[in-house]
Structure 1
Amino acid sequence: MIDISAAYAKYLAETSDAPRPQARAAAEVPSELGAFIEEGDGALAGARAALDHLRDNTADQRGVDGEQIVFPLEDVQLHAPVTDRARIFCALANFAAHMQSAAENTQDPEREATIQRLVAGGPKYFLKDSRAVSAHGEQVRYPARTERLDYEAEIAAVVGRRGRDIAADDFEPYIWGYTLFNDWSVRDNVSFGPDFAYSKNFDTSATVGPWIVVDEGLEPQDIPVECRINGEVRQSGNTSSMIHTFAALGEYLSRDTTLWPGDLIASGTPKGTAVDSTKEQADGSHPDALFIKPGDVVEVSSSAIGVIRNEVVKPDN
């Protein structure tokens, strides 16, 4: 783990006559995520130059003032890579197999019809509160109001450029990178009406991380994602199965609305959640065997990105 702004200051100090390398580094390769994304290609180029210099062309790996700037990953507490002003747009009903399985498992004809309507037509979404995010390694708080907590393994695209009314064919350059996302969800008495967001928003309800993969040649519609509960694989999918692609979602979300650097667009989730794998009983109840319980460890992973891992704890913790 490298302090990239400090590494860039070292690069400037050792390869140029910059009189104030640290001040210049703070402007050109900012240490704050939102500012770094907004700096665009210049910040990425500076970061690459600093990394190359640190690896190949310097006598030591310490900062301008001799400070430590390279740290073992296991010694670092990662924060969720979400900017202060980010909005988290979450695609709803965006994997057909997930929704079909949920429809087949319900005993309520009206609910089944509602699920089918959600799949039909154009994109649909809801918002997660970015202040409710949790990071890789952080404990996730089991909401006191639920007896059926669910997981949803997803890929999220991070917006890198400001834009509005963006055509789908033009959207890919607006994607800065990709990260993992766990859309924790309360499944008790879920309504698809105006209060739907209540089942999606609570403290720690959006795990994001462990980092953002940038400029690694990822194909947006070919990113694998899995979920394991206590080591058992529950979900195994790919963004190739999204009903509405990231580009289609970007076009839809940017209509009359400016997307900003740092905004996240989450893919929706593939089949294998507790709710789409559990048969609703005749009385409307759900066996709880597959739902999350305090003490469970949940991992969302992708071979293209990494792993986010969280232990779920009782709400009084």
Structure 2
Amino acid sequence: MKIAVFGPARRVGIAHDGSIIDANAAYARYLADTTDTARPSARADSEVPAGLNAFITEGKPALDGARAAVEHLSGDGVGVDGEQLRFALDEIMLHAPIEGASRIFAALANFADHMQAAADNTDDADAQATLARLQEGRPKYFIKDARCTSIDGDDVRYPARTEHLDYEAEVAAIIGPRGRDIPADGFRAHIWGYTLANDWSVRDNVSFGPDFQYSKNFDTAAGLGPWIVIDDDIDPHDIPIETRVNGELRQNGNTASMIHDFGALGAHLSRDMTLYPGDMILSGTPKGTAVDSSKRLDDGTFSDDSRFLKPGDRVEVTSTVLGSLRNDVTKAD
């Protein structure tokens, strides 16, 4: 099942046969047709909520209800109050599948091939030592602001403060049941679903000190979507991801290569801190980014910066498991 967020009210939708079905309204229609409940809409609001985090919190019953409603829906159908239930993808707006206070935790330095490629492209001993240190010990992470999201089809704004914009293909695991102090071997039970992510990044004068997040947060910097895929058969540690820039393959990786898997990341993040439904954990990125493919000189500049993005470039992150996240880079206004 593919869970989307759509329309001006940011309602939960089910991607089905090239369209989006309003999960809450379709379930109310299903209840009205198959039960004697006197208030199908009120019951639907409780059992299959229209808001994403409430829907996630309801867990399997909400998914089962939405699935039953989709199977029951005949043709376009109408809701109990005559409202539209099914929307063509080209007639509605999809939003990044994240809501409200949900957080985006992003793993740092979590693919050895990415870090090794970066180390191979610098002769600076201090930089090489820093890159090696980031991979040692416990997981490292930073936070991307959930208000800086973009989704498939959005223009990504080239920040005015950079001359070196980069892409990072990643997989996001979405938290379902809330939890604190979750053991690594039990963390999979807390994963509700998965979506694609592009960790858009500024690469000018980046340090790994207190201001690191400055390079990771700007409007449109957190690419997510286009929907959350729910499938118990997905192995979180065997999800392929690729990046193409203007059709050229740049990244070709798999979550199997994560240094710290989602269980280790979840156990680390949940120590003394509750993870809530709708929170996300990003996997980190494999090699093939512009920064790990470009030779860095001793003064921190690049001998050839042609692999970094420019306004007008098209970037597509894809996965045979999760779909496609395509964006055009546009000049800052």
* TM-superposed deviation, 1:282: 4.8
Aligned partner of 1:150 in structure 2 is 166
- In 2, Cα distance between equivalents of 1:165 and 1:281: 43
> Residue 264 of structure 1 is aligned with which of 253, 259, 280?
280
Matched ranges for 1:26-65 at <5 A: 26-54=45-73, 58=74, 61-65=77-81
Distance 1:190-1:70 versus aligned 2 partners, 3 A rule: same
Identity score, percent: 64
Q: Secondary structure at the match of 1:115?
A: helix
Contact 1:107 1:284 in 2 (8 A): no
Contact 2:205 2:300 in 1 (8 A): no
Aligned partner of 2:310 in structure 1 is 293
Matched ranges for 1:178-257 at <5 A: 178-257=194-273
Matching of residue 313 in structure 1 with residue 313 in structure 2: no
- In 1, Cα distance between equivalents of 2:300 and 2:169: 26
Contact 1:226 1:236 in 2 (8 A): yes
> Residue 103 of structure 1 is aligned with which of 100, 108, 119?
119
Q: Aligned AA for 2:26?
A: A
- In 2, Cα distance between equivalents of 1:282 and 1:79: 42
In structure 2, stretches of 5+ residues that fail to align are 1-19
* TM-superposed deviation, 1:64: 1.6
Contact 1:298 1:309 in 2 (8 A): yes
Contact 1:4 1:29 in 2 (8 A): yes
- In 2, Cα distance between equivalents of 1:262 and 1:66: 31
Matched ranges for 1:112-131 at <5 A: 112-131=128-147
Instruction: Give the paired residue count.
Output: 313
Matching of residue 72 in structure 1 with residue 91 in structure 2: no
Matching of residue 2 in structure 1 with residue 21 in structure 2: yes
- In 1, Cα distance between equivalents of 2:242 and 2:72: 36
In structure 1, stretches of 5+ residues that fail to align are none
- Cα-to-partner distance string for 1:111-142 (whole Å, 9 max, x where unaligned): 11000000111211011111111111111111
> Residue 188 of structure 2 is aligned with which of 147, 160, 172?
172
Distance 1:25-1:121 versus aligned 2 partners, 3 A rule: same
Q: Secondary structure at the match of 1:71?
A: strand
Two-structure CA RMSD over aligned residues (Å): 1.1
Contact 1:140 1:204 in 2 (8 A): yes
Matching of residue 81 in structure 1 with residue 100 in structure 2: no
Q: Secondary structure at the match of 1:276?
A: helix
Contact 1:37 1:262 in 2 (8 A): yes
Superposition TM-score, scaled by structure 2 size: 0.92
Superposition TM-score, scaled by structure 1 size: 0.96
Matching of residue 17 in structure 1 with residue 36 in structure 2: yes
* TM-superposed deviation, 1:83: 1.5
Contact 2:122 2:298 in 1 (8 A): no
Q: Secondary structure at the match of 1:2?
A: strand
Q: Which moved more, 1:234-243 or 1:278-287?
A: 278-287
- In 1, Cα distance between equivalents of 2:323 and 2:231: 15
